[in-house]
Structures are given as structure tokens and as C-alpha cells.
């Protein structure tokens, strides 16, 4: 009897709950020249009984039992059986259906986060949902982080610790994304705290809504000492999420769960968008599915002096501007916009009208004026401001300028400069009188 063309190898450990569905998916394949080898890696549940029933019904299915030796051993044993039967190594690669893969991979990059990383990891290990792996990428830390992570990994086998030379956040994220085994990836920052029900709540929603490619949620800010601050919520559904995305990020990166396949399909994280890599990703993911936010608070987000947002606000703003501009162009060109890896194209070369360019600059000015300050501190912002003021002031631009001056007022109040803060507050009111009704009407459109 001729040997089948393909061997499907399924290493399994305590897989009784999912074996039936996995076998059904194999049988449903249109290609039929295959055999299936299930290697039971020391299961203590009903896996053997279910396998016996399948063997009795279908002679294309074979069952092998071994003591609990791990997935790699299970794969090798299956291959040895296959080679003995065929007398030679197969010319066609085996197909592995790894039932030991977790439902969720946590992606946690770490760089010099010794004061906070232990609490961050423990908040993951303490989740009510337990079918996960925690992929931690130590990006060349020079503090005590590596020792802390090694100690934690020794205590819990769900931690997969990867050490790399320092390449930066984007590289660390892509390294972890490639290493992740699960179809769902939950992001986590090394200084934040995931609340105990986070993974359970997000996984449930992602399984209920296969069209959702990225799901974040509400967060509560904490300071360096863990003191609780305000709660921040973002719009729940895609239309509102995309509208808010025009004004800044509408998904919290450290609280997001996304579909790994969708992120890889749209190119992963792009190194060109350092410090705005998440904002760029949201625009590209939006072309592949829905973006949503949960109403529940799922994360405690730590804000301190070394936070990326605090220290790289100017680069973040410029990258965000280019990400949105490229997304606007891609929407008109069926997603086909070429970007060199080492340089942004000029905004003027992207085919946007002057009104669109000024509207985009106005929205980006408003995004983080509380971090960068007014035209006396922010040289790039001063140039943008002059261009915008010379253009027709649409309702959207007026609203953006009002928001910009309001955030400047906040900055200078915090810095105890009341006269400067008052000037910006008055200017904000002057710009904002007309747009408030316009913004209310626009908000109701998406509710």
C-alpha cells in the first residue's frame, strides 16, 4: 500500500477538551492524501479514550503514547515512526498541529525596568485566565532586570524569556511577535499592572467577534509610587475609534490584545516609526478589521519621568503625523503606499491638499501640547502654527487650535506660570466658541 504524501503530526498533552474539534478540522480538508499521528505526551485526562474512538472509526489516524517528555520529544518520536514505516526521510515536510500552543501570548518588552518589572510580570501570572504564555524580551538591560526576570522564569514555566542585545523597542516587539505561539497577543509594558480579569475579558470578546483585530480597554493612571489617578476611557466601536484616532491614539498600546496573524499580515511594527510604532500599527490594522475598546478598566498605566511619552514627545508627534498622512494616502490607493525603511517621505509629496495638510498639522499640534509647550518652546510647532493661521480656519482647525491652547494652559498652570497659562486659556476660548456645536453634532453622528 502506498504511503500518504503528508503526515499531520499532533503533539498533545491533556487535550481531551479540544481533540474532537482538531480532528474534525483535519478531516474537513479538501486535500485527502494524508495520515495523522497523535503523540500523547503523558496525558492524565480522557485524551487516550477519545483517541481510541477516533482510531476505531478512521484508519488514517494513529495514536502513540509516551511518558511526559515535552512537545519536542513528541514530535521526534512521531517522525521516527514515520521514517521507519517509509524506510526513508519524507521529501514533503510534516504538518504540525501543536495542541500545546496557548490561547494567548503576552508580549512584554523590557529595558532597564528593575523598579517595576516584577510587579508587572506578577500581575500577568495572577490572571484569572490561565491558558497563556508570557513572552518577555529583555532588550539588553543593564540594570537588575535580567536577574529579576530569570528568577521569575524559574518559578513559572509559562514565562518564555528571550535575551537580546539592545536594539530598541520596535525590534524587541517584533522579536516577541515572531516568538509568540498563540493566535491572540496581549501587549504589556514593563511598568504597568494588568488587573486580574484582563485576559479573560479580552479573550472572551475576541472569540465572540472574529472581525475585531485589535481590542483595548479603559485604564487607570498611577504614578511612580503606585498612587491612583484618573480613569481614561476611549470610544468603544470602530467608527468612533477611527474618528478619535485622527486626533491621537484611541487604543492604549500596553492594554491592547490583537490577532497575531493580522499584525504580521500588515507588516508588524515599523522601525521608521520609533516612539509612534503603535499609532502607525493602528492605522494599518484598521484596513484589516475592526478596532474596539472595552468599557472596563483592565490596566493600571504608570506615568513617570522616564516614560517614553514623556521623553520623546516631539518624535512621537512627527511619526504620528506621517502615519496618519500615509493612511490617508493608502485609503485612496487601495492600501498601496511605498515607504522607505530609513526616511519619511515629504508631506507635500503625498498628494494631500493644503487644507488636508493644515488640518492634519492642527490635530497633531493639539495632541501633546501639554508635553511640548507653546511656540516659544516648540520650534516645529511654531512653524506649523504660522502655516495654519494663514490658511482658512475651518471648524475642525478652530477646534484643534482651541484644544492646543487649552493644553498649553494646563502645562503652564502646572509649571506655576499663571500669566502665560491665562493667555492660552483666553485664546482657547476665542477659538473654541464656534466649534463646540460642530463637535457635538459630529460626536452624535458616531454614537
Instruction: Determine contact, residues 77/63, Cβ cutoff 8 Å.
Output: no
Average pLDDT over residues 317-345: 76
Global confidence as pTM:
0.75
- β-sheet bridge partners, residue 258: 185, 214
- Strand segments, DSSP code E, in 48-96 are 61-66, 95-96
Average pLDDT over residues 13-32: 77
Which alpha helices (H) appear in 106-182, and where do they start and end?
117-125, 145-155, 169-179
pLDDT value of residue 128: 95
Q: Let me know the angle formed at the C-alpha of 217 by 371 and 204, rounded to the nearest 5 degrees.
A: 160
Give residue 370's pLDDT band: very low, low, confident or very high (50, 70, 90). confident
Which alpha helices (H) appear in 333-417, and where do they start and end?
354-367, 369-372, 379-389, 395-414
List pLDDT tens digits, range 75-127.
666 665 554 455 444 444 455 555 567 899 999 999 999 999 999 999 999 99
Q: Comparing C-alpha atoms, which of 417, 266, 269 is closest to residue 335? A: 266
Quote the mean pLDDT of the chain.
86
Instruction: Specify the CATH architecture of the domain 6-96.
Output: Alpha-Beta Complex (3.90)
Cα distance between residue 204 and residue 6, in whole Å: 35
What percent of the chain clears pLDDT 70, i.e. is strictly above it?
85
- Report the CATH number of the 104-310 domain: 3.90.550.10
List pLDDT tens digits, range 400-440.
999 999 999 999 999 999 999 999 989 988 887 655 554 55
Q: Name the most confidently modeled range: 25-29, 262-266, 427-431, 432-436.
A: 262-266
Instruction: Determine contact, residues 184/203, Cβ cutoff 8 Å.
Output: yes
Return residue ranges of the chain for CATH 3.90.550.10.
6-96, 104-310
pLDDT value of residue 283: 95
Amino acid at each position: 500500500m502506498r504511503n500518504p504524501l503528508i503526515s499531520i503530526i499532533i503533539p498533545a498533552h491533556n487535550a481531551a477538551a479540544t481533540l474532537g474539534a482538531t480532528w474534525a478540522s483535519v478531516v474537513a480538508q479538501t486535500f485527502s492524501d494524508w495520515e495523522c499521528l497523535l503523540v500523547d505526551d503523558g496525558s492524565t485526562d480522557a485524551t487516550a479514550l477519545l483517541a481510541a474512538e477516533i482510531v476505531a472509526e478512521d484508519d488514517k489516524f494513529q495514536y502513540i503514547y509516551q511518558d511526559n517528555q515535552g512537545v519536542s520529544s513528541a514530535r521526534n518520536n512521531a517522525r521516527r515512526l514515520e521514517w521507519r514505516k517509509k524506510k526513508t526521510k519524507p521529501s514533503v515536510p510534516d504538518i504540525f498541529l501543536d495542541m500545546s500552543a496557548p490561547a494567548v501570548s503576552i508580549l512584554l518588552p523590557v529595558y532597564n525596568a528593575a523598579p517595576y518589572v516584577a510587579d508587572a510580570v506578577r500581575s500577568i501570572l495572577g490572571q484569572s485566565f490561565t491558558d497563556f504564555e508570557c513572552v518577555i524580551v529583555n532588550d539588553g538591560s543593564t540594570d537588575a532586570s535580567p536577574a529579576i526576570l530569570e528568577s521569575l522564569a524559574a518559578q513559572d514555566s509559562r514565562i518564555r524569556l528571550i535575551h537580546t542585545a539592545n536594539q530598541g523597542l520596535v525590534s524587541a516587539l517584533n522579536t516577541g511577535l515572531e516568538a509568540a505561539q498563540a493566535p491572540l497577543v496581549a501587549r504589556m509594558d514593563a511598568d504597568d499592572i494588568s488587573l486580574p480579569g484582563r485576559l479573560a475579558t479580552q479573550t472572551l470578546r475576541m472569540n465572540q467577534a472574529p472581525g475585531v483585530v485589535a481590542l483595548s480597554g479603559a485604564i487607570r493612571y498611577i504614578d511612580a509610587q503606585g498612587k491612583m489617578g484618573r480613569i481614561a476611557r476611549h470610544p468603544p466601536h470602530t467608527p468612533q475609534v477611527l474618528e478619535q484616532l485622527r486626533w491621537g491614539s484611541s487604543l492604549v498600546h500596553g492594554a491592547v490584545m490583537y490577532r497575531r496573524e493580522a499584525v504580521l499580515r500588515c507588516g508588524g511594527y515599523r522601525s521608521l516609526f520609533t516612539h509612534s510604532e503603535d499609532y502607525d500599527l493602528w492605522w494599518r490594522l484598521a484596513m484589516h478589521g475592526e478596532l474596539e475598546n472595552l468599557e472596563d478598566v483592565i490596566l493600571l498605566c504608570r506615568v513617570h519621568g522616564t516614560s517614553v511619552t514623556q521623553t520623546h514627545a516631539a518624535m512621537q508627534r512627527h511619526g504620528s503625523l506621517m502615519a496618519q498622512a500615509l493612511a490617508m494616502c493608502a485609503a485612496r490607493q487601495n492600501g498601496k503606499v511605498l515607504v522607505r525603511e530609513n526616511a519619511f517621505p515629504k508631506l507635500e509629496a503625498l498628494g494631500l491638499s493644503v487644507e488636508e495638510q493644515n488640518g492634519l498639522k492642527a490635530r497633531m499640534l493639539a495632541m501633546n501640547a501639554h508635553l511640548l509647550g507653546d511656540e516659544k518652546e516648540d520650534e516645529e510647532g511654531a512653524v506649523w502654527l504660522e502655516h495654519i493661521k494663514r490658511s482658512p480656519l475651518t471648524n475642525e482647525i478652530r477646534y484643534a487650535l482651541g484644544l492646543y491652547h487649552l493644553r498649553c494652559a494646563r502645562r503652564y498652570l502646572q509649571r506655576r506660570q499663571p500669566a502665560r497659562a491665562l493667555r492660552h486659556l483666553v485664546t482657547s476660548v476665542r477659538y473654541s466658541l464656534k466649534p463646540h456645536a460642530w463637535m457635538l453634532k459630529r460626536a452624535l453622528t458616531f454614537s
